A = this chain, B = another copy of it.
Amino acid sequence: MIIANTIDTVKEKVREWKKSGYSIGLVPTMGYLHEGHASLIKRAVEENDKVIVSDFVNPIQFGANEDLATYPRDFVTDCRMCDELGTDLIFHPNPEEMYSDDFFSYVGVDTLSKGLCGKSRPTHFNGVCTVVTKLFNIAEADRAYFGEKDYQQLAIVRKMVSDLNYNIEIIGCPIIREKDGLAKSSRNTYLNQAERSAALILHKALTKGEEMVRSGEKSAKKVVATIKEIIESEPLAKIDYVELVDSEKLQPVETIEGPILTALAVYIGKTRLIDNFFVDSLA
């Protein structure tokens, strides 16, 4: 496995691979890889001749009061996992390599970025779209893999690719959970023992919400109220949002009809966790 720290190293390798006619899969990550990331990498390895994993804590997607400085990092362990899974190249630039002092460009997607996580993180998705654009141009991949845990991110990246005519297929992969149901996240490492137990309330509440939707509940308000009630029963939990939205524009719905996403963000202590469920078609 090649470890590349510079954009030029990646571009050179990509040019070589392209010349040989190889297909390329890209898995953009912020490192501290867990089984969620592993599932993306495995799928990328299955579907492409060459696989690039980017391992970069992207500063511009963090707000001023967020956890950029403390975001967990373990590049040695990441490398081991990537290598074992069959990654061909891991791209691990420092922030200066990605953003010069006079970096002025930005990419964004309106409407889809306003609600859900965008409300409390107003600059987040511009940061995501900008780094993803850079990675797409650097890796020139045929396919890129994103987890469905960050469903809003996935929807925004899909929209960006469609609007701006990128030549890349976006593949969303299912949420991977701990045995007790907590969605895998690098941020789970922030949780102490009491918080780790308290965090189970997210999955518990969503499971109840999903049951309601699948049993034919049509009122989004009722589903949201039930989910909120369950989460509020946990003293360590503080809700950022719980919302039911349509799956395309991510706008709140009143009546549950077409495909819907139910998404939430909840603080457990100081740690902000997200989770969701998606119901494609109703019985």
Please report A residues at the B interface, Cβ cutoff 8 Å. Answer: 7, 11, 100, 102-112, 129-130, 133-134, 137-138, 140, 159-160, 163-167, 248-249
Contacts and interface: CB of A to CB of B under 8 A. Distances in A.
Contact of A104 (B102, B104, B110, B140): B110
A108 B103 CA distance: 11
A102 B7 CA distance: 33
Nearest to A163: B105
27 contacts: A7-B165, A11-B167, A100-B163, A102-B111, A102-B249, A103-B163, A104-B109, A104-B111, A104-B112, A105-B107, A105-B108, A105-B109, A105-B129, A105-B159, A105-B160, A105-B163, A105-B164, A106-B107, A106-B109, A106-B110, A107-B107, A107-B133, A134-B163, A134-B164, A137-B165, A137-B167, A138-B165
The interface centre, meaning the residue of A108, A109, A165 with most chain B CB atoms within 10 A of its CB, is A165
Report copies per complex: 2
A130 B163 CA distance: 10
A103 B129 CA distance: 15
Nearest to A130: B164
A130 B106 CA distance: 11
Nearest to A129: B105
Contact of A140 (B107, B159, B164, B167): B167
A109 B109 CA distance: 15
